[in-house]
Structure 1
Amino acid sequence: MLDGRNIIVTGAARGLGAEIAKTLAEQGARLILADILEEEGRATAETLGAEFLPVDLAEPASIEAMGKAAAELTGGVLHGLVNNGAIATGIGGIPFDEIAIDSWDLVQRVNVRGTWLMIRAMTPLLKTSGSGRIVNLASDTAIWGAPNLMSYVASKGAVISMTRSLARELGPCHIGVTAVAPGILTTESTEYVPVERHDLYAGRSAVPGRQAPEQVTGVVAFLLSSGALTLTGQVLPVNNGFVFA
């Protein structure tokens, strides 16, 4: 389904990003993996036969440099961008009035500004392909309003809003922009989530049980395909039916 399509995945060194990259590689995509974790990222890329580029989503100059390197690797033609890179400080649960200002600012800088700057850097390459696709990884916490996680929830709510706005701006260029909003996945980034919240999802979802990353990757792959343009602007809560959009 993705044969010959050049696709970038950020936050791809491990966890959901690595699982997304694995699925895309299996479907024939030519991948560039990007992450701040260089050693792990290069190892994942080598395993998948992909390229690797380091990037710090908190630093505009790093994103700009990565964009220039990606242009060289792709010959200036990019078909897909998966904005998976993000941070979730306080994922174990912090009341809104106890969030440190520096922590709040870092989450917004990486998750919101970093996503925007990555899209800005890659849009010229996506326009060249004639069938560009952007998939932003949001979170269903921004749909149901998870408590004690406000900096992360606010950042992912912003990602959802950006997705809708960009879908209208980039639609005339035949670039589709969608968001996937998973629930709690069984990855390294959620190992510190209180067991009570894991149990909440597992017990109250339409499809009971914990959610593995592989249950999300196929949806991302479809949204990157040439046939997914009519879904532009949509936010898909891929969470076993814990919350409906």
Structure 2
Amino acid sequence: MVRACKEHLLKSDNPSVVNISSIAGIKGIGSSMAYASSKGALNTMTKSMARNLGPIRVNAVCPGFIQGEWLKKGLGDDIYNASLKNVENSTPLGLAVTPEQVADVIYNFIDISKTVTGETFLVDGGYHLTI
């Protein structure tokens, strides 16, 4: 997709691509090896794209546990609530991130961080420090 958009991106004053990855791609966690592997590959592709597509900036945002209805529906109330409490009690910031907080980081990569490229940025309240 980026290849198809490259010429349009280059016409922008601030060309940027933000890939949505996961903590699973960095820490190798989760219930699916295929998912973690695919996110690890996306992180590597992000670095390759940043190296080869400059001046287009390419970064990846890697959320951890994201609180919200989507995850609650997937896990069920009991497992979700236990997981949420565990994340809130174990992370240095004492919180589980929200979709809005992840969106804020994505916005910052797109609009503000004009000197950042090739980065994989964890958005997890410090959860990665505990596992």
| Contact map agreement 2:17 2:57 (CA 8 A) in 1 | yes
| Contact map agreement 1:206 1:240 (CA 8 A) in 2 | yes
| Contact map agreement 2:50 2:118 (CA 8 A) in 1 | yes
Give the structure, 1 or 2, with the largest relative contact order (CA under 8 Å, sep 6 or more). Answer: 2
1:145 counterpart letter in structure 2: G
2:56 maps to what in 1? 175
2:124 counterpart letter in structure 1: N
1:198 counterpart letter in structure 2: L
What is the root-mean-square deviation in Å for CA atoms of aligned residues?
Answer: 1.8
1:214 maps to what in 2? 100
1:79 maps to what in 2? none
CA distance in structure 1 between the partners assigned to 2:7 and 2:84 by the alignment? 40
Which of the residues 133, 140, 161 maps onto 2:23?
140
CA distance in structure 2 between the partners assigned to 1:234 and 1:206 by the alignment? 22
Distance 1:200 1:155, change over 3 A: farther
5+ residue gaps, structure 2: none
Could you report, residue by residue, the CA deviation over 1:130-176 in whole angstroms, capped at 9, with x for unpaired residues?
421000111112222214221211111111111000000012xx110
Distance 1:126 1:214, change over 3 A: same
Which of the residues 162, 165, 174 maps onto 2:48?
165
2:60 counterpart letter in structure 1: A
1:46 maps to what in 2? none
- After TM superposition, the structure 1 = structure 2 runs for residues 1-245 of structure 1, keeping only pairs within 5 Å, are 118-171=1-54, 174-191=55-72, 192-193=74-75, 194-195=79-80, 196-225=82-111, 227-243=112-128
CA distance in structure 2 between the partners assigned to 1:215 and 1:165 by the alignment? 27
CA distance in structure 2 between the partners assigned to 1:119 and 1:233 by the alignment? 15
1:217 counterpart letter in structure 2: A
| Contact map agreement 1:164 1:177 (CA 8 A) in 2 | yes
2:66 counterpart letter in structure 1: L
Q: Please give the TM-score of this superposition, normalised by the length of structure 1.
A: 0.47
Matched residue count: 124
| Contact map agreement 2:29 2:36 (CA 8 A) in 1 | yes
| Contact map agreement 2:28 2:37 (CA 8 A) in 1 | no
CA distance in structure 2 between the partners assigned to 1:229 and 1:122 by the alignment? 19
| Contact map agreement 1:183 1:201 (CA 8 A) in 2 | no
CA distance in structure 1 between the partners assigned to 2:104 and 2:9 by the alignment? 21
CA distance in structure 1 between the partners assigned to 2:84 and 2:33 by the alignment? 18
Q: Percent identity?
A: 32
The structure with more radius of gyration: 1
- Provide the secondary structure at the position in 2 that maps to 1:221: helix
Could you report, residue by residue, the CA deviation over 1:26-51 in whole angstroms, capped at 9, with x for unpaired residues?
xxxxxxxxxxxxxxxxxxxxxxxxxx
2:102 counterpart letter in structure 1: V
- Provide the secondary structure at the position in 2 that maps to 1:224: helix
